[in-house]
């Protein structure tokens, strides 16, 4: 039977999770809740998503512009097995206490909530099984998800001794007209290390990681510069092969004309991705290097898109509709059209059998 999923908060993340839920054959979208009848409410109606007002007093405003609503958020939650809370930062933790706990509904939160306020954090590549059957789980932020994905690949391959990372963060999302900076680079936070390392530790407490972050005037993507001391000796080729073996990582080459976040987003547009969403973490092939048992690489993070996959896996984990991480990850990737690396890294170009083996494993083909 399909899991019934409600989406509370239909902004950047909520609308993407709603679309992703609608694509899964083991999930049913019972509705989306909003505070106001703006253009996103009309789009939800066009898509056939049942629309709910955040509270009863707001229903009239929707009806006044001709939008039919199915009720209030509480009515929506009565129809659902689980709610994904994608309301603005900090509101999720309030909703947990004031709405979800009293109603006894399972809830998934986003990275804007504090780990301690929710009690558990999630990344599908790192700790899927820890979320099995839990009532309240937070999917870690876009930056943390990006770090967790590529670092878990390195950890599998060679064991992580120490991570140092510099995060160049987008100043705002494309729709955020009132946020900046527009002509500055802001150390953000100005204190070192930044909160991103401790956030990674909410899913992988054993990793020694410290991060520094700045904000820059761009809306397209974040960009990470990562240095990892590893436990055992590895070659550059082994690291590239490991990255290539993960569907949610995408090796890209500057030499192919993908030398910037702008060109990577253009690739995503050319691929016909909805809203140009790049669910995979792009890693610049040329940047991958190993020096004295230290792995170096640069990656991008499409902040609006990467976490959508983990939200879907988290729904399966908390409802225990799928207990095996790999099976859930594969289902999600298949339904979404995740494609992995743009093409094999140069070191595998003359090894078609190895490439075939990797593909078979990725798709679970014996
Ligand atoms: N944007 C990113 O890049 C990103 C990446 C990773 C994680 N996150 C996290 O995801 C969460 C959501 O962020 P977002 O970027 O999607 O924010 P957002 O675009 O501002 O969307 C949140 C939406 O919630 C709606 N809302 C406000 N109060 C509500 C209420 N009481 N009940 C129901 N809906 C309400 C608002 O729309 P209406 O007022 O029109 O209803 C708003 O559009 C945050 O925790 C954030 O930190 C964001």
> From atom 39 of ligand 1, which residue's Cα is the shortest distance away?
35
User: Residues 27-50: pLDDT tens digits?
Assistant: 999 999 999 999 999 999 999 999
Beta bridge partners of 34: 53
Cβ of residue 95 lying under 6 Å from some atom of ligand 1: no
User: Residues 225-268: pLDDT tens digits?
Assistant: 999 999 999 999 999 999 999 999 999 999 999 999 999 999 99
Q: What is the pLDDT of residue 365?
A: 73
pLDDT at 366 over 80: no
Q: What is the four-CA torsion angle of 218, 222, 223, 225, rounded to 10 degrees?
A: 130
pLDDT at 354 over 80: yes
Cβ of residue 193 lying under 6 Å from some atom of ligand 1: no
Atom of ligand 1 lying closest to residue 34 CA: 41
| Mean pLDDT computed over 75-81 | 98
The helix/strand/coil state of 193 is coil
Q: What is the four-CA torsion angle of 118, 122, 128, 130, rounded to 10 degrees?
A: -40
Is-catalytic flag, 347? Answer: no
Phi, psi of 210 (to 5 degrees): -130, 140
> Catalytic: which of 126, 142, 314, 347?
142
User: Residues 89-134: pLDDT tens digits?
Assistant: 999 999 999 999 999 999 999 999 999 999 999 999 999 999 999 9
Average pLDDT along the chain: 97
The helix/strand/coil state of 118 is helix
Distance from residue 182's CA to the centre of ligand 1 (Å): 22
Phi, psi of 103 (to 5 degrees): -85, -10
**pTM greater than 0.95 (yes/no):** yes
User: Residues 169-227: pLDDT tens digits?
Assistant: 999 999 999 999 999 999 999 999 999 999 999 999 999 999 999 999 999 999 999 99
User: How does DSSP assign 122-181, residue by residue?
Assistant: E-HHHHGGGGTT-SEEEEPPHHHHHHHHHHHHHHHHH-EEEEEEEEEEESS-TT-TT---
pLDDT at 362 over 90: no
Residues 294 and 322: their CA atoms lie apart, in Å, by 36
Atom of ligand 1 lying closest to residue 11 CA: 21
Distance from residue 28's CA to the centre of ligand 1 (Å): 21
- Ligand 1 site-directed mutation target among 6, 8, 13, 31, most atoms within 8 Å of CB: 13
Distance from residue 48's CA to the centre of ligand 1 (Å): 21
Q: Quickly tell me which residue has 């070192």 as its tokens.
A: 192
User: Residues 145-164: pLDDT tens digits?
Assistant: 999 999 999 999 999 999 99
Res. 283 pLDDT band, cuts 50 70 90? very high
Cβ of residue 35 lying under 6 Å from some atom of ligand 1: yes
Q: What is the pLDDT of residue 348?
A: 96
Cβ of residue 89 lying under 6 Å from some atom of ligand 1: yes
């Amino acid at each position: 039977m399909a899991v019934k999923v409600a989406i509370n908060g239909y902004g950047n993340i909520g609308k993407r999770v709603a679309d992703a839920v609608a694509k899964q054959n083991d999930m049913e979208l019972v509705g989306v809740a909003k505070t106001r009848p703006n253009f996103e409410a009309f789009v939800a109606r066009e898509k056939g998503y049942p629309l709910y007002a955040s509270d009863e007093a707001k229903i009239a405003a929707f009806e006044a512009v001709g939008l039919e609503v199915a009720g209030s958020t509480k009515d929506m939650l009565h129809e659902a097995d689980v709610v994904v809370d994608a309301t603005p930062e900090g509101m999720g933790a309030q909703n947990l206490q004031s709405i979800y706990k009293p109603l006894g509904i399972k809830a998934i939160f986003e990275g804007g909530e504090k780990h301690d306020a929710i009690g558990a954090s999630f990344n599908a590549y790192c700790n899927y099984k820890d979320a099995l059957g839990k009532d309240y789980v937070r999917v870690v932020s876009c930056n943390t998800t990006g770090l967790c994905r590529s670092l878990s690949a390195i950890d599998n391959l060679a064991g992580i001794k120490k991570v140092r990372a510099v995060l160049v963060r987008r100043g705002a999302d494309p729709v955020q007209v009132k946020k900046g900076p527009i002509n500055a680079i802001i150390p953000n936070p100005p204190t070192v290390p930044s909160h991103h390392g401790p956030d990674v530790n909410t899913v992988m407490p054993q990793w020694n990681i410290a991060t520094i972050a700045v904000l820059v005037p761009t809306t397209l993507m974040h960009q990470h510069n990562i240095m990892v001391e590893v436990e055992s000796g590895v070659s550059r080729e082994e690291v590239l092969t490991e990255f290539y073996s993960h569907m949610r990582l995408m090796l890209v080459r500057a030499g192919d004309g993908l030398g910037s976040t702008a060109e990577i987003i253009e690739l995503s547009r050319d691929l016909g991705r909805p809203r140009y969403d790049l669910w995979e973490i792009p890693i610049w092939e040329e940047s991958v290097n190993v020096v004295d048992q230290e792995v170096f690489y640069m990656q991008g993070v499409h902040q609006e898109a990467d976490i959508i996959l983990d939200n879907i896996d988290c729904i399966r984990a908390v409802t225990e509709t799928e207990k095996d991480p790999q099976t859930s990850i594969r289902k999600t990737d298949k339904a979404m059209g995740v494609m992995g690396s743009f093409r094999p890294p140069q070191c595998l170009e003359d090894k078609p059998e190895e490439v075939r083996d990797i593909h078979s494993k990725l798709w679970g083909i014996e």
